[in-house]
């Protein structure tokens, strides 16, 4: 028989003592949540337990957390007041933990089906994850990926919790020896020098060396796809063994996976390498891997972008300069690149002196500044350069125009006083916004802070970081913090644009630099007659013109707006007897500055129209007997189809206006 009165009395008694214990014991902690809300929780709760107290919805969707800005596992126990942000798959850090867990699920499936395969590393990446496996002489093929996906589904259905534990380096090596995982032992031995314990995650029978963070269980990884296999050298070094890299992607919902796979299919259709070949824009040849060749039509496109760049920079008060492609070692040592960037530089010896092909334009721009004494009246001094730079990239990383070994960087360097910093940053932000809006791109901004490999005083870094924050905040822009990803000489704002199928690309950047003016002893004479040190901004808008062309090609799927198109008008005579009139009109169009080609092949007009459509030409001008009789031309638009008959001058007026307005 239940004594309900005694039960109620016991409940209130326990509750009373708990309140007294918490109050007098001082173990209530205050957590500042996202949005600034401050809530009190019992000391010693895990972040997962805190999420459950906040809401069951957050608990179910939580993937990871940030404690005082640092990404942590949901298993982390909170024992003091802090800023706590619990993140879901919608957050980049949450997505990273989700994908990292998916990579462990894949590795577990591999060990179940192919126990002799050796594990190496399996990180999360921007759009999913990968894992490198030593498969011996037989790398995974498409049929293996199907088997692995089926086994991964079984593992997710089992719903194992992920358990984190730590071992001493000696114990960790012993565990991996028992499992016969030589690559893991190599990683442990490298980490052992720090004298710290080694962390592992266990799910079911599978144990993986890993720092995390991870989901609490495998169950949320409901939708995934293994997308491809490639070769990859261990540690990215061609001297090491070739491994089998398996790529995949994962989502909480099947509908999200389906949407992503559709985007991948669309991306394949838009591949700039294929379109670049079809439209005769550029090519990469085996004689120069990573060094693109621009063909005549590609040069027209590139030069149009360059002309636009020059136009907007003249209006914004920039002077254009050009600096040498090769400078001596002493310069690169002084700039810091020889110590911080040498592995990415091409070097040679001239007259017993070390030289480097420039990977960046900034040291040359600094030397231009030093060509004469500057006054405060000269500042801000804005100098732009379309400089061809060379950087060593691993062959496996090369990808069309997106990842090359030489490219034209649309650099500019601004020298200014401390009082001018904020206004100059604002000016660059507005310029970048104007350019991206012209091409129809949306974008978001990241503020990248001081990296571990940096130079200069912390005070200068703080001033520079605060100046970047203040400038974009006053302009009304939101931004994300990218901890530790700044340049070695200063913090930066990175502009990530979004193309028409939702992919993001990092292009523009603004880097605020107190260090190089100091290292090069730059000076200007102030209004007080004394010598002062200027501050420097490094910035690009396109980033790399070559890469920007690749992005534009995929964004527009090769159907460039009229002002950018290499061929703006294709002229199609219906019969050979109409050619004389076609060439008369061609002269008129070219006199107006339009880019025109004539298809004078002895083919039917329908064939010529289809060819022009495949070439993605914005306009077709067709001339037949009726057009000659009426002194008109017949117009077809790539976008609207048949427009009808027009007078030549009316067509010229309309298309020139479209080009001047940069419509798309």
Residues recognised as catalytic: 362, 391, 409, 411, 413, 492, 538
Helix (H, G, I), strand (E, B) or coil at 594: coil
Distance CA 361, CA 259 (A): 41
Query: Which runs of consecutive H residues, i.e. helices, occur in 321-373?
Result: 329-335, 337-340, 362-369
Distance CA 169, CA 167 (A): 6
Q: How many CB atoms sit inside 10 A of residue 625's CB?
A: 11
- DSSP category for residue 456: S
Distance CA 238, CA 233 (A): 6
Buried (b) or exposed (e) across 518-530, using 16+ Cβ within 10 A? bbbebbbeeeeee
By the 8 A CB rule, do 302 and 410 touch? no
* DSSP string for residues in 173-199: HHHHHHTT-HHHHHHHHHHHTTT--EE
Distance CA 30, CA 551 (A): 47
Helix (H, G, I), strand (E, B) or coil at 238: coil
From the centroid of its chain, how far is CA 242?
Answer: 27
Which residue, among 369, 123, 419, 412, has the nearest Cα to 246 in the 3D structure? 123
Which residue, among 408, 395, 658, has the nearest Cα to 550 in the 3D structure? 408
Helix (H, G, I), strand (E, B) or coil at 273: helix
Helix (H, G, I), strand (E, B) or coil at 619: strand
Angstrom distances, CA of residue 545 to CA of 118, 300, 301, 388: 42, 13, 10, 10
Indicate the angle between helix axes 421-438 and 458-474, nearest 10 degrees: 50
Task: Estimate the share of the chain in helix, then strand, then coil, as percent rounded to the nearest 5.
Answer: 40, 30, 30
Q: Which long-range contacts (CB under 8 A, 24 or more apart) does 165-171 make?
A: 165/199, 165/200, 165/202, 166/197, 166/198, 166/199, 166/200, 167/197, 167/198, 167/200, 168/197, 168/198, 169/197, 169/198
Which residue, among 423, 489, 484, 416, has the nearest Cα to 457 in the 3D structure? 489
Which residue, among 125, 119, 234, has the nearest Cα to 175 in the 3D structure? 119
H helices, E strands: number in the chain:
21, 36
Retrieve residue 367's tokens: 């030397």
Query: Which runs of consecutive H residues, i.e. helices, occur in 40-168?
Result: 47-54, 56-61, 92-113, 142-158
Q: Which residues contact 577 (CB under 8 A, 6 or more apart)?
A: none
By the 8 A CB rule, do 538 and 413 touch? yes
Q: What is the largest CA-CA distance in the chain?
A: 110
Q: Phi and psi at residue 527, in whole multiples of 5°?
A: -65, -15
Retrieve residue 556's tokens: 């527009």
What does the chain come to in residues? Answer: 664
By the 8 A CB rule, do 74 and 47 touch? yes
Angstrom distances, CA of residue 308 to CA of 311, 399, 434, 548, 553: 5, 26, 12, 13, 17
By the 8 A CB rule, do 220 and 238 touch? no
């Amino acid at each position: 028989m239940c004594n309900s009165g005694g039960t109620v009395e016991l409940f209130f008694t326990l509750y009373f003592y708990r309140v007294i214990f918490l109050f007098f014991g001082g173990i209530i902690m205050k957590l500042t949540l996202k949005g600034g809300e401050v809530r009190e929780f019992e000391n010693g709760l895990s972040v997962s337990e805190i999420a459950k107290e906040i809401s069951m919805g957050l608990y179910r969707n939580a993937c990871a957390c940030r404690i005082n800005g640092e990404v942590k596992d949901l298993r982390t126990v909170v024992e003091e007041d802090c800023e706590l942000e619990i993140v879901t798959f919608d957050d980049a850090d949450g997505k990273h933990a989700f994908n990292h867990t998916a990579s462990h699920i894949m590795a577990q499936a591999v060990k179940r089906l192919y126990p002799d395969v050796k594990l190496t590393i399996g990180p999360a990446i921007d759009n999913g994850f990968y894992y490198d496996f030593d498969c011996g002489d037989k790398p995974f093929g498409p049929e293996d990926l199907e088997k692995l996906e089926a086994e991964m589904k079984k593992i997710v259905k089992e719903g194992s919790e992920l358990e984190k534990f730590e071992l001493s380096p000696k114990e960790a090596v012993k565990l991996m020896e028992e499992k016969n995982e030589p690559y893991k032992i190599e990683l442990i031995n490298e980490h052992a020098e720090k004298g710290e314990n080694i962390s592992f995650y266990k799910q079911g029978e599978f144990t993986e060396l890993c720092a995390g963070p991870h989901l609490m269980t495998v169950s949320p990884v409901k939708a995934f796809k293994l997308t491809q296999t490639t070769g990859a050298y261990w540690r990215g070094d061609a001297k090491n063994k070739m491994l089998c890299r398996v790529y995949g992607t994962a989502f909480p919902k099947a509908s999200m996976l389906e949407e992503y796979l559709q985007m991948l299919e669309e991306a394949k259709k838009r591949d700039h390498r294929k379109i670049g070949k079809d439209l005769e824009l550029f090519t990469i040849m085996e004689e120069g891997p990573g060094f693109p060749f621009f063909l005549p039509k590609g040069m027209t496109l590139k030069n149009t972008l360059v002309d636009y760049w020059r136009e907007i920079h003249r209006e914004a008060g920039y002077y254009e300069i050009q600096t040498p492609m090769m400078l001596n070692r002493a310069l690169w040592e002084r700039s810091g690149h020889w110590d911080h960037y040498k592995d990415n530089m091409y070097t040679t010896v001239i007259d017993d002196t070390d030289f480097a092909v420039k990977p960046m334009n900034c040291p040359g721009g600094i030397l231009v500044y030093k060509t004469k004494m500057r006054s405060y009246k000269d500042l801000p001094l804005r100098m732009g350069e379309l400089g061809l730079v060379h950087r060593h990239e691993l062959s496996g990383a090369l990808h069309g125009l997106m990842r090359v070994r030489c490219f034209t960087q649309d650099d500019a360097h601004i020298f200014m006083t401390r009082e001018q910093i904020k206004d100059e940053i604002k000016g660059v932000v507005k310029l970048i916004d104007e350019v991206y809006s012209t091409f129809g791109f949306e974008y978001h901004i990241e503020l990248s802070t001081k990296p571990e490999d940096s130079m200069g005083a912390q005070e200068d870094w703080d001033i520079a970081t605060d100046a970047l924050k203040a400038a974009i905040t006053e302009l009304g822009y939101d931004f994300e913090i990218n901890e530790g990803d700044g340049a070695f000489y200063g913090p930066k704002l990175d502009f990530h644009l979004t193309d028409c199928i939702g992919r993001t690309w990092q292009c523009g950047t603004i880097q605020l630099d107190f260090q190089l003016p100091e290292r090069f002893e730059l000076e200007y004479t102030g209004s007080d007659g004394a010598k002062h040190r200027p501050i420097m901004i490094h910035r690009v808008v396109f980033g790399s013109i070559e890469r920007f062309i690749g992005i534009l090609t995929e964004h527009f799927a090769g159907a460039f707006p009229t002002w950018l198109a290499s061929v703006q008008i294709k002229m199609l005579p219906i019969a050979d007897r109409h050619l004389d009139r076609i060439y008369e009109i061609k002269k008129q169009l070219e006199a107006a500055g339009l880019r025109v080609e004539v298809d004078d092949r002895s083919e039917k007009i329908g064939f010529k129209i289809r060819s022009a459509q495949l070439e993605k030409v914005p306009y077709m001008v067709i001339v037949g007997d009726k057009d000659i009789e009426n002194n008109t031309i017949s117009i077809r638009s790539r976008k609207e189809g048949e427009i009808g008959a027009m007078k030549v001058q009316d067509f010229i007026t309309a298309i020139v206006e479209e080009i001047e307005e940069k419509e798309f």
